[in-house]
Amino acid sequence: MDSGRCELIVVGDEILLGQTLDSNSRYIARRLTDNGMRLHWISVVPDDKDEIKTALDRATGRASAVIITGGLGPTADDFTRPVIAGFFADNLVWRQDLADAILARFEKRAIRPSPGWETMAYFPSRAAAIPNAHGAAPGIHYNYVRDHKGATAVVTPVADSLQSVAIEPVFREAGRQLFALPGVPVEMRGMFEDYILPRLIAARKGVFKSRIFKTVGAGETHLAACIGDPAVLAPATLAFLPSLDQGVTLRLSCSGDDVNLVHPVLEKGSAIIRTAIQSYIYATEEIPLEAVIIDILRYRGWKAAFAESCTGGMISARLTSIPGASDVFERCFVTYSNQAKVELLGVAPDIIENYGAVSEQCARAMAEGACQQAKVDIAISVTGIAGPGGGTVEKPVGLVYIGVADRGGSKVKRFTFAGDRDDNRRRAALAALTMLYRKCINA
């Protein structure tokens, strides 16, 4: 057994049939990494008793913690509960407290209990129930050991936590943990955060701390070159996490025996990173770029408007995805036709005739027009050729002009992206938000 090894088993035909994207795995992987642990293996298995049993046998033989998601519901293809109990040579017994909790939940929501709800109250006799704040099915927590041949499993009782959720370290001497959770993301996440993660953190040897730096305006290669040899950050390590919509996130992590040793390492590393790439950093916490922009606009008391052509409303959709966007966002003109650019933004027809709708001149007129027409403090404009059609030798697919205007004037930048339509549009949206952010922060 690797004392820090963690494996995940995902039960679900819907994933193996390609009907559902497995977002649970990424969530669990990310949250473990955020907290100085890691996932070593993911097995996605069918809704089939033998396959689940095989996966349990493999995972419990190597890992100190196994998380299994899916198959805990009341329908005929939910096998996880009886298979786990059978695997540990345990029995399912009626738990009145669980039945009461399940029924109370249905009653509170004024809906009839799902057919077969009773099966969820038959619970493994030697496992603890994991409370489920967002659904009916309780999770299952076993504390177990395996003998030297690895052939059999012995279960030791754990304190039941449906009422009490005291957090104890789980990696006891020779004790391993198995946690079973429902596959519904909102239920899984709540139970993972409230029950599993605190136990894994409490059991983690030593301390682990990390800092994040969210950046826009530079690629991974350039950021790495600015920072130089990552050995100067040792014993901390640096990871680069690029995203098409949010720029590159850097995570500086360090583990050690004592927080008093880890802390100065991170302080020094943060100073090195900040000095090297300060102008690209927009946040040092998990917050999207659009939320940072809204905060700055609100602080300045500014209103913003957009004029979008090739991005077709994506920038506006992104900004308004954040609650409170209405404090700072006035309107967006999606001027897809030339006529709309002329009528709504006051772009002179001569500009379109002489330079084309995808031109520096048009981008500038769009940004200035949006600023004036919407009577806002700042506006951005985007016009370009997203593809796959519409490109020429002079104006190829991927050519995008982005303008930004405020009451003091305007400026335009030219970009050439090399992706497909979706890629070019997403990159243009990020570039436009980046220009908006820069203009706001440097005002």
Q: Which residue ranges make up the site for a second copy (CB under 8 A)?
A: 15-23, 25-34, 38-46, 51, 58, 239, 241, 306, 308, 310-317, 319-321, 323-326, 329-337, 339-340, 344, 374, 387-389, 421-422, 425
In whole angstroms, what is the distance from residue 162 CA to residue 160 CA?
6
User: Which residue, 155 or 358, has its beta carbon nearer to a second copy?
Assistant: 358
Contact yes or no for 152/172 (Cβ under 8 A): no
CB of 211 to a second copy, least distance (A): 17
Q: Taking phi first (over 0 means left), then psi (-120 to 50 degrees means alpha), and beta for anything else, what does residue 217 get?
A: left
Q: How far is the CB of 355 from a second copy (least distance, A)?
A: 18
Closer residue to a second copy in complex, CB, 175/313 = 313
CB of 39: closest distance to a second copy in angstroms? Answer: 5
Residue nearer to a second copy on the CB measure, 227 or 344: 344
With a CB cutoff of 8 Å and minimum separation 6, the contacts of 318 are: 245, 290, 429, 433
By beta-carbon proximity to a second copy, the closer residue of 160 and 295 is 295
- Which residue, chain included where needed, has tokens 């709504």? 344
CB nearer to a second copy: give 98 or 435. Answer: 435
At 259, give phi and psi (nearest 5°).
-60, -25
Side chain identity at 320, as an amino acid letter?
A: T
Q: State the minimum distance, in angstroms, from the CB of residue 415 to a second copy.
A: 18
- The residues pairing with 8 across neighbouring beta strands, listed in sequence order, are 42, 67
Give me the least distance between CB of 426 and a second copy, in Å please: 10
**In the complex, least distance from residue 319 CB atom to a second copy, rounded to whole angstroms:** 7
Angle between helices 49-62 and 80-87 (to 10 degrees): 50
Tell me if 255 sits within 8 A of 206, measured CB to CB: yes
CB-based contact 97:39 (threshold 8 Å):
no
**Residue 210 CB, nearest distance to a second copy (Å)?**
12
For a second copy, give the closer residue by CB, 46 or 182: 46
CB nearer a second copy, residue 31 or residue 413? 31
DSSP string, 145-189: EE-TTSS-EEEE-----SS---------TT-EEEEEE-SSHHHHH
